[in-house]
């Protein structure tokens, strides 16, 4: 790696860190001004607010805006280089435009790997910290029934179905529970319980006032139990109606959760798949946006760096909107989740190639 590569790479990373710190500080200040009353009501010390809230919020915001920070950083320092005729001097010395992009490739790939690791393992933990604080001190309402599913039905396997009329996530108990097993479209087994509770000692479900029926072609067996311990392939966490659960699961656990939901035939499987694929797609956008940024900003124009930044903001808004549209179509319609997660990268990847061909000329 030559001196000019080290110079560009250093500019790249330092400008990115500066943008990251600047926007993070701005977000924190705005958030504090909005949630001052909530912090006062919580009666928590400053140290607890930092560890129990901002340790979750800051990684969440930074990960969401990470590609845009990279994009703005590339445009900002490359436009400055173009204004000072440094880019012209580099290219006039015999360096090809492809070779000029080498340090940008190194920096963007490094940052993309960092963001990938964050999305896979670090961000889910941060989302859990942020979500717990929000639910406990900000969004809490005694009349909120989101944690208490009613008339909840799900699939255990290809032939078994379960349902529960009421479930309390706090006590991990519910009422009017049943399981039905079918074979060749005929009911073969049925179990019903008046109450069901998660037994933490045995890691099983404890049911009371249980009626168990087994049906054959000619006979029917009915057995009654006052209490019964049973092991099933669902846990209290699976019965919780939580639209943000996918955000708090590390990728290995998210994959297992998706398998369970696919087996049960859940309706919200598309949102889980979009989340899974987005964790790989978003880091790749760092590389694509970096290439677009350098191709735009390396050309010296009359408007200077302000013109390039304006173009960058517009492209950033288009990128965010395209991602949101594809997400809505995937979760509410029949759009393929994989394509929904990767569509912004496909569109901007083509745009990056067009800009590269023009800049190379």
Per-residue pLDDT of the chain (361 residues), as tens digits, is 789 999 999 999 999 999 999 999 999 999 999 989 888 888 889 999 999 999 999 999 999 999 989 999 999 999 889 888 899 899 988 899 999 999 999 999 999 999 999 999 999 999 989 888 877 777 655 445 444 556 888 888 888 999 998 888 778 889 999 999 998 888 999 999 999 999 999 999 999 999 999 998 778 899 999 999 999 988 887 777 666 778 888 999 999 889 888 877 777 788 899 999 999 999 999 999 999 999 988 887 765 667 777 777 788 788 878 887 888 888 777 789 999 999 999 999 999 999 999 888 7
Residue 327, exposed/middle/buried by CB under 10 A (0-12, 13-18, 19+)?
Answer: buried
The C-alpha atoms of residue 351 and residue 361 are separated, in whole angstroms, by: 16
State the virtual CA torsion across 335, 282, 5, 102 in degrees, nearest 10.
Answer: -20
Predicted structure pTM score: 0.81
135 neighbors 38 (Cβ within 8 angstroms): no
Nearest 5°: phi and psi at 83? -65, -35
**Domain 150-241 CATH class label:** mainly beta
- The residue ranges of every structural domain in the chain are 3-140+268-360, 150-241
């Amino acid at each position: 790696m030559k001196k000019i590569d080290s110079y560009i790479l250093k500019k790249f990373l330092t400008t990115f860190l500066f943008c990251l710190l600047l926007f993070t500080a701005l977000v924190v200040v705005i958030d504090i001004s909005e949630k001052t009353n909530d912090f006062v009501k919580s009666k928590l010390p400053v140290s607890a607010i930092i560890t129990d809230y901002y340790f979750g919020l800051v990684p969440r915001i930074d990960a969401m805006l990470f590609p845009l920070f990279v994009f703005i950083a590339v445009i900002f320092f490359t436009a400055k280089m173009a204004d000072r005729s440094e880019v012209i001097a580099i290219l006039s010395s015999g360096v090809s435009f492809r070779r000029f992009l080498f340090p940008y490739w190194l920096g963007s790939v490094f940052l993309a790997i960092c963001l990938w690791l964050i999305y896979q393992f670090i961000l889910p933990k941060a989302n859990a910290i942020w979500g717990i604080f929000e639910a406990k001190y900000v969004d809490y309402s005694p009349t909120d029934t989101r944690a208490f599913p009613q008339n909840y039905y799900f699939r255990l396997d290809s032939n078994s179905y379960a349902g529960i009329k009421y479930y309390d996530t706090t006590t991990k108990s519910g009422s009017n529970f049943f399981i039905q097993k079918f074979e060749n479209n005929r009911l073969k087994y049925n179990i019903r319980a008046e109450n069901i509770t998660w037994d933490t000692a045995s890691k099983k479900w404890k049911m009371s006032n249980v009626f168990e029926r087994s049906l054959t072609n000619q006979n029917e067996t009915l057995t009654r139990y006052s209490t019964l311990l049973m092991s099933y392939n669902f846990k209290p966490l699976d019965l919780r109606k939580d639209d943000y659960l996918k955000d708090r699961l590390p990728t290995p656990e998210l994959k297992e959760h998706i398998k369970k939901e696919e087996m049960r035939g859940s309706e919200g499987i598309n949102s889980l798949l979009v989340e899974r694929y987005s964790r790989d797609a978003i880091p790749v956008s760092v590389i694509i946006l970096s290439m677009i940024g350098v191709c735009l900003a390396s050309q010296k124009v009359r408007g200077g760096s302000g013109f390039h930044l304006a173009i960058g903001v517009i492209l950033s808004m288009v990128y965010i909107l395209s991602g949101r549209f594809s997400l809505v179509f995937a979760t509410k319609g029949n759009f393929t989740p994989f394509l929904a997660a990767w569509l912004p990268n496909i569109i901007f990847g083509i745009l990056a190639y067009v800009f590269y061909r023009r800049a190379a000329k």
